[in-house]
């Protein structure tokens, strides 16, 4: 049975993963867009991204666009799999009608 993921379950990180999972595997999202989408501060988003990166769920890359440095974020294969399992676990809780624990 699929299990809930503690790293992903936190609301902001859940939405970060939802955004990244909606992209194609080769697509990366701009840090500024992600910040605006989630309505969080730079520091808050940075802290959540660090947790997801430490878990190996996302990849963070910096590069220059024109003369400006930009940060792009994408989900890793491991991150997509973990997110998929988390979503399955949520569906399982709804279908089962019983509370589930976060591992």
Site residues for other proteins per CB under 8 A: 4, 6, 9, 11, 14-15, 18-19, 21-24, 26-30, 32-33, 36-37, 65-66, 72, 87, 90-91, 93-94, 96-102
Tokens of residue 4, six digits:
């809930």
Cβ at position 9, least distance to other proteins in Å: 7
Cβ at position 33, least distance to other proteins in Å: 3
Pairwise CA distance, residues 72 & 70, whole Å? 7
Give SS3 for 59.
strand
Give SS3 for 97.
coil
């Amino acid at each position: 049975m699929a299990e809930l993921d503690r790293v992903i379950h936190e609301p902001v990180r859940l939405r970060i993963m939802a955004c990244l999972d909606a992209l194609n595997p080769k697509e990366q999202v701009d840090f500024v867009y992600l910040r605006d989408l989630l309505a969080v501060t730079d520091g808050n988003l940075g802290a959540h991204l660090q947790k997801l990166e430490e878990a190996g769920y996302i990849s963070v890359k910096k590069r220059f666009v024109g003369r400006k440095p930009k940060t792009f974020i994408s989900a890793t294969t491991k991150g997509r799999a973990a997110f998929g399992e988390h979503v399955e676990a949520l569906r399982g809780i709804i279908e089962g009608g019983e509370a589930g624990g976060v591992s």
